[in-house]
Amino acid sequence: MKTKISVSEKKKEVLENLRNFGARLYGQMEEGAFPWIKMPSRSIQNIFYSPEVRQYILGDKAVRRSSRNIRHIRPFTQLVWAAYFAYELAKNRKTSTLRDVYYSAQAFDVAFKDQPESNSIITDLETVVGFAREDFNVFPEERSAIFGDLTIEYTVRGYEGRQYNLMSHPDGVMIGPAITSAEFVKTSTDMVIAIEKGGLFTRFIEEEVHKKFNALLVLLGGQAPRASRHFIYRLNKELELPVHIFTDGDPWGMHIAMVIISGSANAAHLRDLTTPDARWSGVWATDIVDYRLPSDELTPVDIKRLYELQKDPRYKGDLWQKEIKKFLKIRKKAEQEAFSRYGLTYIVDKYLPEKLKEVA
Amino acid sequence: MVTFEEISPADFFYRNRDIAGFTNPVRAIFSALRELVENALDATDLSGVPSEVYIRLSHDNDTELGDDVYRLRIGDNGCGIPARHIPSAFGQVLFGSKYKLKQARGTFGLGGTMAILYGQITTHKPVNIVSSTGTSRIYKYALMIDIQRNRPLILDRTIQINKEQWHGTFIEFSLEGDYSRAMPKILEYLKQTALVTPYANITFVDPKGRLYKFTRVTTKTPPPPKETLPHPYGVDVETMQRLQRITDCQTMPDFMQKHFHRVGETISLSFLDFAGFIRTSDPKNLKGEDISRLVKAIKKNKKKGKNGFSHNLSVKEMQHFIRNTQSGNLVDFMKTHFKGVEKSVILRLLHAAGFIRTKAPRKLRSDEIVKLVRMMKKFDGFLPPDASCLSPLGEDLLKVGILKELKPEYIVVSQRKPSTYSGHPFIVETAIAYGGDIPAKDDILIYRFANRIPLLYDEASDICVKVIRSMNWRRYKVSPSMPIVILVHICSTKVPYKTVGKEFIADRPEVKKEVLNGLREVARQLQHFLTKKEYVARERRRLDVFSKYLPKIAKFSTNLAGKEKEPNIKVLLRSARKFED
Ligand SMILES: Nc1ncnc2c1ncn2[C@@H]1O[C@H](COP(=O)(O)OP(=O)(O)OP(=O)(O)O)[C@@H](O)[C@H]1O
Ligand SMILES: [Mg+2]
């Protein structure tokens, strides 16, 4: 059954949560108390991998932040300010970035020391409010893109009700705030193919992979931004489209896929960013052997990373373990572009069909 | 061929003027001024009226000489100099009135004369002196020094009637120097002198006509020092020989008591016994009358109390004892037969009863003198010297002086109890001043004083500086960038200067220990002050933080909650005071 996640419903909930947060502090002050909050701790000791939820989650440990504590009052004020800032953004349906947040604080005399401090306050706000920052319109700098037959309907100011087909532009469409906050109208596609690198994304469009495989193409651009992860989640949940992820054949590419599938420890306080049923469809270590791809030696850093991943709870699955072992055995890695050795269309004509069949 | 010649003390210091601080034109002008200021202050300390010192330094008008020649004129309202001593006091090196055992700025009989000698060798002009001790006459002298013979040459002498019973001294002479480069040191010297002499008015007019006035803030003066006898620990063979030659004492106990510091009958006897300078008869040789005298003395002693003898002794019994004793002398005899009686009591008894014989001091042979001196150093029964010969500034005056010259935010002063090194008494005074007008430099400022003289040169070699550097100031919450002056004043009948230039103090373990203890004392108090100050500052910062952020929280929450009125946070701000992290 298709789950409809209404974008506007969610927006309302975000505003509501922010308002409640303010009201709670207001009430505390009215009662003559120093305002305080309690929120789940995000310390390493409180982050667990949940096999049921199939992602990292926070444990029961909570932290109490009180404005009565001299060390807490500044970050506490910054948190309240961030809530206020987010509330104004969401209410006025404006968007901003983490960098904006950092600078905007200065106008209110609650300046952050540096960008990481500002980022961490935004993460606090996510934890307190229970929504990802994209939901209160704070977007990351990095953007990925999408191409394919999906019609969406905008909810952003000035475009409300307008529809748009994501195949309209041959370079693909940036997954920015407008797309992220759009409702899905219709699609004829059968699957999502997410690609690590821009070169291959463009090749796929040129080679009409979207037609040949009836697919939506998503460009990840390295480690996927959270907005894209959430977007893939929606494609999978709302449109019930299977998701295939193509990355370079090395531990780093593998992990790009894994973060889309099982999320990261940093986002343990958030939900709806993971797509547990998505598949990592290549390039595998076995592909390097089977397709005799031109390859490079694994570096010591690569190898160290592989050993780390081997022990990571997210990599419990057979496929993962098998591929990690293989990497360690052949001591080789290959980029997606390595297929060009067999001609530019080889990857689309030969590899992709075989691969999709194999995973299906 | 090797030739031999003799030079006079004046000639010696003329050749070696470096050791007295007359190294170059900068040092020379500084040293001349300070030597004369110190003489003036010594003189006014003796006169019993509040000190006035006037200093004028001007360019010498004599165009023959270069423009690096100055005229220095210094006047005081001190005790003056008796007319017959004036020529020698200023025209003869190693002549002075301060060789006595009591604290004074001057010690060597050298400083003032060196200044004049330096003036003479650089300008070849006489020195003019006007002085009166408050009698009906004022004496004026024009002198030069016969350096080769270390004798004053009197060029002119006039006498004036002293209607106003003025007392004091004016000295004026020319000398070569470099004032512009010496100026910072001279001004610093005067400032520190004013600090340590808060009861003096010091006026200085410099060659540019600038007037520097250091005004007294009190008329209280430190208690004047009393002259003292040498302490046995500080006596050497030479001193002993001199004393032994001039004494009119007939017995050694008398000699010890009359010529040495804090030596009474008991101590003199104990020491002389210890040193082997006491002889008593063989008990067997005592005559009948001697025995009854001894028994009487014992009886008399018993009345005096618990240290007396245990039983009432008859002459018969005594005779019995004497017959049977093995002892060859009376002290031993008494010791064996009256167990439990202290030796000092026995000695006193025997002395009082006339049983103790010693050599007449004048008849001591030189090997005996050497032995006496050596035993003095070994004997541990001498009392430590008392401090009446010293004249420390005292905690109150020190505070007043610091306040006047440094205007700090906080002062702590401490005076240590008197102590001694090699038989010389000394007292250490320490102080720390913080903040106020004191500038924050890269390092802590150190003010050193000895016998109320500021010491400005050779800081690195000074014992006080070494002690200060060795201390862990972090422990006392002190960091080098703080506006802090640390002050150490050492006074003694013999300050252990390393040179006759009086610039720094030698390493003496006893002195070092006292300086360290004194500094620890004031440092601890400073630490309390700094801790409290830090607490107050922290508390203020804390409140600032609350008053900055709480209103913001109130405002943002009000906006978020969509309320009209902001919550009242006055109560919260008030209670922020009470909360500790
Ligand atoms: N202004 C003065 N008033 C009274 N007496 C003085 C004055 N200046 C010098 N004298 C006398 O002259 C003597 C010699 O002075 P001088 O400075 O040469 O030696 P000093 O002060 O005894 O020792 P030092 O070499 O340590 O300064 C002094 O001991 C003092 O008796
Ligand atoms: Mg002198």
What pLDDT does B308 receive?
Answer: 55
Atom 17 (ligand 1) nearest CA: B112
Q: Is residue A160 part of a domain?
A: no
Return the amino acid letter for A337: E
How does pLDDT run across B56-108, given as a tens digit for each residue? 999 988 767 777 999 999 999 999 999 999 999 999 988 998 888 889 999 88
A29, A69, A109: residue with CB nearest B557: A29
Q: Is residue A149 part of a domain?
A: no
Helices (H), A291-342: 300-311, 318-330
The total number of structural domains in chain A stands at 2
Return the amino acid letter for B325: T
Ligand nearest to the CA of B107: 1
CA distances from residue B30 to A297, B126, B306, B498 in whole angstroms, order as listed: 80, 20, 64, 19
CA distance A65 to A125: 13
Higher pLDDT, A318 or A359: A318
**Cβ(B501) to ligand 1 under 6 A?**
no
CA distance A25 to A246: 47
How does pLDDT run across B367-409, given as a tens digit for each residue? 999 999 999 999 999 998 888 999 999 999 999 999 999 999 9
User: In terms of residue numbers, what domain contains A321?
Assistant: 185-359
CATH at A39: 1.10.10.10
How does pLDDT run across A56-98, given as a tens digit for each residue? 999 999 999 999 998 999 999 999 999 999 999 988 888 888 9
What pLDDT does B557 receive?
Answer: 95
CB atoms within 10 A of CB A205: 20
Say if residue A107 is in the same domain as residue A191: no
Q: Is residue A59 part of a domain?
A: yes
Out of B38, B41, B98, B132, give the residue to mutate to test ligand 1, the one with the largest number of ligand atoms within 8 Å of its CB: B98
What pLDDT does B319 receive?
Answer: 87
Q: Is residue A89 part of a domain?
A: yes
**Owner of token pair 């005081």:** B76
Say if residue A189 is in the same domain as residue A332: yes
Say if residue A191 is in the same domain as residue A321: yes
What pLDDT does A142 receive?
Answer: 74
CA angle A106/A112/A117 to nearest 5° reads: 150
Q: Measure in Å the smallest separation between the Cα of B552 and chain A Cα atoms.
A: 7
B553, B561, B568: residue with CB nearest A76: B553
Chain A CB contacts of B558 under 8 Å are 22, 26
CA angle B167/B170/B173 to nearest 5° reads: 165
Query: What integer is the mean pLDDT of A140-165?
Result: 91
Say if residue A132 is in the same domain as residue A200: no
What pLDDT does B6 receive?
Answer: 87
Quick check: B579 contacting A, CB < 8 Å? Answer: yes
* Cβ proximity of B127 and B516 under 8 Å: no
- Residue A230: is it exposed, middle or buried by C-beta count within 10 angstroms (0-12/13-18/19+)? buried
Half-sphere exposure of B527 (CA within 13 A, CB side): 12
Give the tokens for residue B26: 């900068």
Q: How confident is the model at residue A1 (pLDDT cuts 50, 70, 90)?
A: very low
Atom 14 (ligand 1) nearest CA: B96
Query: What integer is the mean pLDDT of B265-290?
Result: 91
Q: Which numbered atom of ligand 1 lies nearest the CA of B113?
A: 18
Say if residue A206 is in the same domain as residue A106: no
Q: How confident is the model at residue B307 (pLDDT cuts 50, 70, 90)?
A: low
Name, in order, each residue with C-beta under 8 angstroms of A43's C-beta and a sequence gap of 6 or more. A61
DSSP string, A103-166: HHHHHTT---SSHHHHHHHHHHHHHHHTS-GGGGTEE-S---EEESSEEEE--STT-TT-EEET
B553, B571, B576: residue with CB nearest A25: B553
Chain B CB contacts of A32 under 8 Å are 571-572
**Which helix (H) or strand (E) segment is A231 a member of?**
helix A226-238
CB atoms within 10 A of CB B275: 19
Q: Which numbered atom of ligand 1 lies nearest the CA of B112?
A: 17
Q: Which numbered atom of ligand 1 lies nearest the CA of B46?
A: 4
How does pLDDT run across A261-276, given as a tens digit for each residue? 999 988 889 988 999 9
Which residue(s) pair with B229 in the sheet?
none
- Write the DSSP symbol of residue A71: T
CA distance A200 to B388: 101
Q: How confident is the model at residue B579 (pLDDT cuts 50, 70, 90)?
A: very low
Q: What are the extents of the domains in chain B?
A: 9-214, 232-378, 395-530, 534-575
Q: What Rg value do the Cα atoms of chain B yield, rounded?
A: 33
**Owner of token pair 């797509």:** A275
Q: What is the fold of B395-530?
A: Ribosomal Protein S5; domain 2 (3.30.230)
Q: Measure in Å the smallest separation between the Cα of B564 and chain A Cα atoms.
A: 11
Taking a 5 Å cut-off on Cβ, the residues next to ion ligand 2 are B 39, 106, 111-112
In chain B, the residue whose alpha carbon lies closest to the alpha carbon of A35 is: B553
Q: Identify the CA nearest to B216 among candidates B227, B205, B197, B200.
A: B200
Say if residue A347 is in the same domain as residue A204: yes
CATH at A190: 3.40.1360.10
Q: State whether A83 and B560 contact (CB < 8 Å).
A: yes
**Cβ(B45) to ligand 1 under 6 A?**
no
Helices (H), B103-214: 111-123, 179-196
Backbone conformation region of residue B439, classed left if phi is above 0, alpha if psi is from -120 to 50, else beta: beta
Bridging pattern class, strands A150-153 and A163-165: antiparallel
- Write the DSSP symbol of residue B440: P
Q: Identify the CA nearest to B262 among candidates B178, B402, B348, B383.
A: B383
Say if residue A206 is in the same domain as residue A352: yes
Q: How confident is the model at residue B302 (pLDDT cuts 50, 70, 90)?
A: low
- Please, what is the end-to-end C-alpha distance for chain B in angstroms? 89
What pLDDT does B580 receive?
Answer: 47
Q: Which numbered atom of ligand 1 lies nearest the CA of B96?
A: 29
**Owner of token pair 């006489």:** B126
Which residue(s) pair with B127 in the sheet?
B143
CA angle A176/A178/A184 to nearest 5° reads: 110
A23, A70, A81: residue with CB nearest B561: A23
**pLDDT(A172) > 50:** yes
User: Would you call the peptide bond into B536 cis, given omega within 30 degrees of 0 as the criterion?
Assistant: no
**Cβ(B81) to ligand 1 under 6 A?**
yes
Total length of chain B: 581
Give the tokens for residue A194: 């997410």
* Cβ proximity of B263 and B271 under 8 Å: yes
Q: Is residue A164 part of a domain?
A: no
Q: State whether A87 and B559 contact (CB < 8 Å).
A: yes
CATH assignment of B9-214, among 3.40.1000.10, 3.30.565.10, 3.40.50.720, 3.30.43.10: 3.30.565.10
Give the tokens for residue A105: 């604080």
Atom 19 (ligand 1) nearest CA: B109
Claim: this prediction has a pTM higher than 0.95: no
CA distance B517 to B419: 12
Q: What Rg value do the Cα atoms of chain A yield, rounded?
A: 22
What pLDDT does A64 receive?
Answer: 93
Say if residue A286 is in the same domain as residue A212: yes
Q: Which residues of A are catalytic?
A: 103
**Which helix (H) or strand (E) segment is B268 a member of?**
helix B265-275
CA distance B7 to B20: 18
